[in-house]
Structure 1
Amino acid sequence: GVPVNPPVPDNSGGGGLPAATDGTGAVGQTQKAAQPVRTQSEDAVVQNQQHTPLFEHKLTMDWGISDTYYDRRQLQLSGFLALDAIFLGNINLGETKSHQVMADLDTRYGLTDRISVDVDVPYIYRHSNFIVGGAGGAANTVSDASANSSDIGDVNFGLYYEILKETNSLPDLVGSLRVKAPTGSSPFGIKLQQVDADNTNLVAPTKLPTGTGFWNITAGLSVLKTYDPVVLFGSVSYTYNIARSFSDISSVIGQTEPATVKIGDVVQFGGGVALAFSDKDSASISYTMALEPESQTKAPGGTYSKVPGSETTAAALTFGLNHVVNKHLTINGSVSVGLTPDTPNFVIGVRFPYTF
């Protein structure tokens, strides 16, 4: 009935926290005891939600593939109102269906027990189908056109710092700084052409972009707290998009329009909860919203003017499943459902982080 190891005295400082964290002697043992013990599935949630390696690991190779589907319909009116009640002209229904398949490799390396870096390299395949009525001058006759593109996407780099390590009373707090480079093909200057000679309403791009065309910097903060078997998490971030000059932003064939473009800076926030229902399996649900103000353009020597209709509000609900295969490999699956017109209809993805 006598313990083999006597209890370690509490050498804590203010607030009951250990006075030192060197991991040796009584003080280090006290801090270790104060940190909650996570299951393997809870560790997978931490790694997936904070997008960082577990800091005690040195190298993680995270490969993933996702399919993003977008379907939008738009009523097109070409004419005028007579007597404020009767519309004279053409009424057409336009529809765009788009699939974007992205495969990426995110390589993460833990420099210390609090600092890690990563680089994410995506490759994107896009297919879009454009359907518009008005073929042969009849509103009920439609014609369509398709476009495909595949290329590298925008490569991004990240730096993570663990501000607070989770204890029984404090959450895990991680700050991040990410930089995205415009390595993908730009959407500006892509020309629209008439595809069907019998339908002047149907115009389609000659190719599809795989990048945004801009450098941006994102500063973020994520928080996570474990209440076994529940994990609560949340995050907030601010993305600054750097203005860039383009030699041509016009979509009209034979027309060149140089301009400087500044897209709106994005504020994103969200949160969710994960439930570990076994040592190796967990499920999660989260909500994310991103707010982006109107974009602006400026002709050479001119002043900025807003782009009408460019303000967006994107919100999505994401459901995830995590399975720990072994101490090295984890499988993370997710389904994201768009809640606003500015959000894709759905995104289905699966990731395979492997930790060495």
Structure 2
Amino acid sequence: MRMKFWSRKFLLFRLLNGVIFCVFFINNSYAEPGRQNNSVAQYKKLLEAQQKEFQIQRQIIAEQGKELEQLRLRLDALVNQSVENKQLPAKQAANKPQIVVAKNDNEPSESPNKLPSKPVGQAPPGTAEKPRPPEIPRLSDTVGGVLTKKGNIVVEPSLYYAYTSNDRVFLDAFTYLPAIAIGLIDLRAVKRHSVIGTLGARYGVSDRLELEFRVPYVYRHDTQRSRPVSIGAGADETFNASGNDIGDLEFAGRYQLNSGTGGWPIFVGNIVATAPTGKSPFDIEYVQAQGVPGAKFPTELPTGAGYFSFQPSITALYPTDPAVFFGNLSYNYNAETSTSVGKIQPGGAVGLSFGMGFGINERSSYSLGYSHKHVFNSRINGETIQGSTLDIGQLLIGYSFKYSPRTTFNLSLGIGTTTDAQDVTLNFRVPMTFGLFDS
């Protein structure tokens, strides 16, 4: 349309020039000689202006011809590409990688001979990052955090504090009426403080598998206040004991079982094993308390459990931005051990924990959860120790702050909800990531 418009304008312009020429010619034929010279000069100027206009028209037509040629080349390229796509298998065409070439602002937006067949910027297949468990504040050895990337090492120093207070009544007597007892009745108030400093290291074998090793150092201090009420004692007996030494070594492994696609949660398998390298409670010596007949107190406190243990568990993580729901189911097996009083089989335990992690921003997040563990009766020489079951429940609160790309601060708080649980626990972790073996 643009070319037709300029062509018509050019014809009208030439026709107008012809009419003007005829008028000048007629006027010059009957004009005086002096006047004829002036008319000829004016006509030459007008002719020069028309020639300049003619040159401009020729340039416009040439530019229009170039645009038409580019449109023709683009049309040919589209036709050829359509034929090639029909001949290629559907799978090959879907997997064909796209290449994005950077260009300057002054260059044409598209090349005449190369047009993309898919959206510009689409990543080639196989380059997308593999789904990984989301980052949430670590609440325990099996819940929280994120698996270590392949080739990375995470060094994690931590400091753990626990406080327990318990009032206990010991009755070594018999009764013949509900209000009358014959024997020893001992009342005790126990306050226990435990501080554990741990140095751990995790290594990412692959993007789905990590291994961990932890070395704890334990310090414990107990205060027991006792008064026998059946022998007329008028003062409380207080006994203090403490112990500090290396604790039980821990080995752990975690493996991501699935990718979490298709609306499924991400499942992570965990196994934690401990070796009895700390001071065993079965090797502690007890002494007779003065002024409290029948009461014995330990001379020092143990720093280990005294037996091997294995805890397999499975963790489920379901991300729903910005929250992550989690749950963990575990079983704890404690191996039999020989002591001075016989063979002791500590009771196993089943545990359940669940909760939610919430991302405040890119650097901060917090989590809320609950953990409950039921410990079964223990055995000594094959005989069940009645009343040795325990129920340990805790309300868990965690907070995580990403101090730098390599360092994170993680604080978790546990509040006991059952009589067998510790009153309060605090755990401060500082995982630091080092890419020593980047792949």
Place the TM-score, normalised by the shorter chain, in its bin.
0.7 to 0.9
Residue in 1 that maps onto 2:124: 26
Question: What are the equivalent positions in structure 2 for 1:215-234 lying under 5 Å apart?
Answer: 215-234=308-327
Which of these residues, 240, 245, 251, is aligned with residue 333 of structure 2? 240
The alignment's TM-score, normalised by the length of structure 1, stands at 0.80
Partner Cα separation in structure 2 for residue 227 and residue 46 of structure 1: 18
Structure 2 stretches lacking a partner, 5+ long: 1-92, 96-121, 435-439
Which of these residues, 395, 409, 415, is aligned with residue 337 of structure 1? 415
Shift of residue 284, structure 1, vs aligned partner: 0.8
CA deviations on 1:220-266 (whole Å, 9 max, x unpaired) are 111112211111111111122111222x1xxxxxxxx3x11111122
On the 8 A contact 1:186/1:212 being kept in 2, the answer is yes
Question: Does 2:345 align with 1:262?
Answer: yes
On the 8 A contact 1:10/1:27 being kept in 2, the answer is no
Query: Which of 1 and 2 has greater Rg?
Result: 2
Q: What amino acid is the match of 1:273?
A: M
Partner Cα separation in structure 1 for residue 183 and residue 229 of structure 2: 15
Which of these residues, 348, 352, 356, is aligned with residue 273 of structure 1? 356
| Structure 1 residues 293 and 46, CA gap change in structure 2 (3 angstroms) | closer
| Structure 1 residues 237 and 10, CA gap change in structure 2 (3 angstroms) | farther
Residue in 2 that maps onto 1:307: 385
Question: What are the equivalent positions in structure 2 for 1:101-112 lying under 5 Å apart?
Answer: 101-112=195-206
Q: Secondary structure at the match of 2:306?
A: coil
Q: What amino acid is the match of 1:221?
A: I
Shift of residue 279, structure 1, vs aligned partner: 1.3
Q: Using CA pairs under 8 Å that are at least 6 residues apart, name the structure with larger relative contact order, 1 or 2.
A: 1
Q: Secondary structure at the match of 2:125?
A: helix
Shift of residue 55, structure 1, vs aligned partner: 2.9
Which of these residues, 403, 408, 412, is aligned with residue 325 of structure 1? 403
Question: Does 2:433 align with 1:352?
Answer: no
Partner Cα separation in structure 2 for residue 121 and residue 296 of structure 1: 29
CA deviations on 1:15-59 (whole Å, 9 max, x unpaired) are xxxxxxxxx973324x54x959x9xxx625479734653334611
Q: Secondary structure at the match of 1:310?
A: coil
Partner Cα separation in structure 2 for residue 208 and residue 84 of structure 1: 37
Q: What amino acid is the match of 2:378?
A: S
Residue in 2 that maps onto 1:146: 240
CA deviations on 1:291-349 (whole Å, 9 max, x unpaired) are 12101111xxxxx1011221111111111111110110101111101111111111012
On the 8 A contact 1:61/1:105 being kept in 2, the answer is yes
Partner Cα separation in structure 1 for residue 324 and residue 417 of structure 2: 24
Greater share of strand = 1
Structure 1 stretches lacking a partner, 5+ long: 1-8, 12-23, 249-256, 299-303
Partner Cα separation in structure 1 for residue 208 and residue 291 of structure 2: 63
| Structure 1 residues 76 and 213, CA gap change in structure 2 (3 angstroms) | closer
Question: Does 2:295 align with 1:212?
Answer: no
Residue in 2 that maps onto 1:94: 188
Which of these residues, 286, 291, 295, is aligned with residue 374 of structure 2? 291
Shift of residue 89, structure 1, vs aligned partner: 5.4
Residue in 1 that maps onto 2:22: none
Task: Note the aligned Cα RMSD (angstroms).
Answer: 2.7
Residue in 2 that maps onto 1:5: none
On the 8 A contact 2:135/2:144 being kept in 1, the answer is no
Residue in 2 that maps onto 1:43: 135
On the 8 A contact 2:136/2:146 being kept in 1, the answer is no
Greater share of helix = 2
Q: What amino acid is the match of 1:229?
A: P
Partner Cα separation in structure 1 for residue 184 and residue 338 of structure 2: 37
Residue in 2 that maps onto 1:62: 156
On the 8 A contact 2:147/2:208 being kept in 1, the answer is no
On the 8 A contact 1:59/1:109 being kept in 2, the answer is yes
**Which deviates the most, 166-175 or 43-52?**
43-52
Percent of aligned positions that are identical = 27
Residue in 2 that maps onto 1:200: 293
Question: Does 2:154 align with 1:71?
Answer: no
**Which deviates the most, 212-221 or 321-330?**
212-221
On the 8 A contact 1:44/1:324 being kept in 2, the answer is no
Partner Cα separation in structure 2 for residue 209 and residue 147 of structure 1: 10
| Structure 1 residues 72 and 169, CA gap change in structure 2 (3 angstroms) | same
Residue in 1 that maps onto 2:280: 186
**Which deviates the most, 224-233 or 329-338?**
224-233
The alignment's TM-score, normalised by the length of structure 2, stands at 0.66
Q: Secondary structure at the match of 1:26?
A: coil
